């Protein structure tokens, strides 16, 4: 039997190779593995941090364009915007009567956002795990791809499903986590993870010239000050790490050996990486550009996806509401 997979996408623009290798590629594999996939753009979740409305409005189609360009196929996966399936908001309302406030307050992610990131302490932020549970439980999801940091949220969704099923009757499937293999994508400045906020990214829409410009100045093993100095690839914070992600196994093996005996210079090593990076990004960049000329395609896909998602969840939400004593008149 097909497994139902649900996952949310944050509506942020300028996707980079970290987003692709760490998440989007995985979504494409899941859809191709004959699962029943529902991928949504989490516009309601985004409201918790008060994005500028015009920016949020623009970011939604942009993120969809990126996912389509990367290979998410609307014939294989349902792609929709969270707010276009309003039954999710209804389930959020129903589940909020199950969710214990102290449990939400103890949530580590919430605490970090309030205490360390000084985010606005609103109910949306506190109730984030309830809305996330609604996203998942509405579809009766079996599997939810998550990073380690999202496990507490998924456990809460399971808790709410169990609490509901215990208090009323068995309505919800308890979702299981599919732990994504963590992939470390270094920023081009060599100072930690690739991140849009640090401005150290290679974007999926970068031209060949941009990729070249960014990688040619990226730091390498500091011990290779001169061409003849032997290096330690594992001390090369950007280039060797990226080779491991985008170059062939043979190329990585050769670079590893040649770097150690100063058989290859850093510039030539970078050039090999630039070619491989371009090979990966070019088809994505070209599909993205093509989609930019056809905005109606995005509108159609999202309208159809919203309809399909709403249809898929209505039965479950009606069952949950009826079980709680709510009837439609
Ligand atoms: S040869 Fe390549 S792997 Fe070695 S230090 Fe230079 S850039 Fe890094």
What CATH number does the domain containing 243 carry? Answer: 1.10.240.10
CB atoms within 10 A of CB 261: 9
The answer to the question of residue 132 being in a domain is yes
Same domain, 272 and 312: no
Same domain, 241 and 210: yes
The answer to the question of residue 151 being in a domain is yes
CA 34 to the chain's CA centroid: 20
The answer to whether 36 and 67 are in contact (CB under 8 A) is no
Same domain, 233 and 312: no
Same domain, 106 and 220: no
- Strand pairing class (176-179; 143-146): parallel
Same domain, 242 and 257: yes
The answer to whether 308 and 39 are in contact (CB under 8 A) is no
Any atom of ligand 1 within 6 Å of the Cβ of 247? no
- Residue owning the nearest CA to atom 1 of ligand 1: 266
**Percent share of the chain, pLDDT over 90:** 83
Same domain, 311 and 253: no
Measured CA to CA, the distance from residue 144 to residue 66 in angstroms comes to 21
**Chain segment 313-328, per-residue pLDDT in tens:** 999 999 999 999 999 8
The answer to the question of residue 159 being in a domain is yes
What are the start-end ranges of the E strands in 152-285?
176-179
Report residue 226's pLDDT band, with 50, 70 and 90 as the boundaries.
very high
Q: What is the whole-number distance in angstroms between the Cα of residue 181 and the centre of ligand 1?
A: 26
Of ligand 1's atoms, which has the minimum distance to the CA of residue 265?
Answer: 1
Same domain, 121 and 181: yes
To test the pocket of ligand 1, the residue of 188, 259, 268 to mutate (highest count of ligand atoms within 8 Å of its CB) is: 259
Same domain, 298 and 285: no
The answer to the question of residue 329 being in a domain is no
Q: What is the whole-number distance in angstroms between the Cα of residue 234 and the centre of ligand 1?
A: 9
Residue 197: pLDDT above 90? no
Measured CA to CA, the distance from residue 255 to residue 261 in angstroms comes to 10
Measured CA to CA, the distance from residue 236 to residue 249 in angstroms comes to 17
- The token duo for 170 is 């068995």
Measured CA to CA, the distance from residue 146 to residue 207 in angstroms comes to 31
- Left (φ > 0), alpha (ψ -120 to 50) or beta: where does 193 sit? beta
**Chain segment 102-134, per-residue pLDDT in tens:** 999 998 888 888 887 777 788 999 999 999 999
Residue 147: pLDDT above 90? no
Any atom of ligand 1 within 6 Å of the Cβ of 44? no
The answer to whether 42 and 79 are in contact (CB under 8 A) is no
To test the pocket of ligand 1, the residue of 188, 215, 224 to mutate (highest count of ligand atoms within 8 Å of its CB) is: 224
The answer to the question of residue 95 being in a domain is yes
The answer to the question of residue 191 being in a domain is no
- Residue owning the nearest CA to atom 5 of ligand 1: 221
CB atoms within 10 A of CB 185: 19
Report residue 13's pLDDT band, with 50, 70 and 90 as the boundaries.
confident
The answer to the question of residue 124 being in a domain is yes
Which CATH number is 153's domain given?
Answer: 3.40.50.620
The answer to whether 278 and 17 are in contact (CB under 8 A) is no
Measured CA to CA, the distance from residue 186 to residue 234 in angstroms comes to 13
Q: What is the whole-number distance in angstroms between the Cα of residue 186 and the centre of ligand 1?
A: 15
The answer to the question of residue 91 being in a domain is yes
Q: What is the whole-number distance in angstroms between the Cα of residue 55 and the centre of ligand 1?
A: 39
Look up the domain containing 284 and give its range: 196-289
Q: Output the pLDDT for position 115.
A: 82
Same domain, 81 and 122: yes
**72: which residues sit within 8 A by CB, 6+ positions away?**
24, 27, 28, 31, 39, 79
């Amino acid at each position: 039997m097909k497994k139902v997979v649900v996952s949310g996408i944050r509506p942020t623009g300028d996707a980079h190779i970290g987003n692709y290798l760490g998440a989007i590629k995985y979504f494409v594999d899941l859809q191709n593995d004959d699962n029943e996939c529902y991928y949504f753009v989490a516009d309601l979740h985004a409201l918790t941090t008060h994005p500028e409305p015009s920016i949020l409005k623009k970011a939604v189609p942009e993120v969809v364009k990126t996912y389509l360009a990367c290979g998410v196929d609307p014939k294989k996966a349902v792609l929709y915007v969270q707010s276009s399936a309003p039954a999710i908001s209804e389930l959020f309302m129903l589940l909020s009567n199950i969710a214990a406030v102290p449990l939400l307050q103890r949530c580590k992610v919430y605490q970090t956002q309030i205490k360390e990131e000084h985010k606005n302490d609103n109910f949306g932020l506190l109730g984030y795990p309830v809305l996330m549970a609604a996203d998942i439980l509405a579809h009766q999801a079996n599997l939810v791809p998550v990073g380690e940091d999202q496990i507490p949220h998924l456990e809460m969704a399971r808790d709410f499903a169990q609490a509901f099923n215990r208090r009323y009757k068995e309505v919800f499937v308890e979702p299981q986590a599919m732990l994504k293999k963590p992939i470390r994508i270094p920023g081009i400045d060599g100072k930690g993870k690739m991140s849009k906020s640090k401005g150290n990214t290679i974007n999926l829409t970068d031209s060949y010239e941009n990729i070249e410009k960014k990688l040619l100045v990226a730091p390498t093993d500091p011990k290779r000050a001169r061409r003849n100095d032997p290096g330690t690839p594992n001390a090369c914070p950007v280039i060797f790490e990226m080779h491991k992600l985008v170059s062939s196994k043979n190329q990585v093996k050769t670079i590893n050996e040649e770097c150690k005996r100063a058989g290859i210079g850093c510039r030539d090593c970078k050039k090999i990486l630039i070619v491989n990076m371009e090979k990966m990004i070019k088809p994505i960049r070209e599909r993205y550009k093509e989609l930019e000329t056809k905005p109606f395609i995005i509108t159609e896909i999202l309208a159809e996806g919203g309809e399909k998602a709403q249809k898929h969840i209505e039965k479950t939400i009606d069952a949950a509401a009826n079980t709680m004593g709510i009837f439609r008149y």
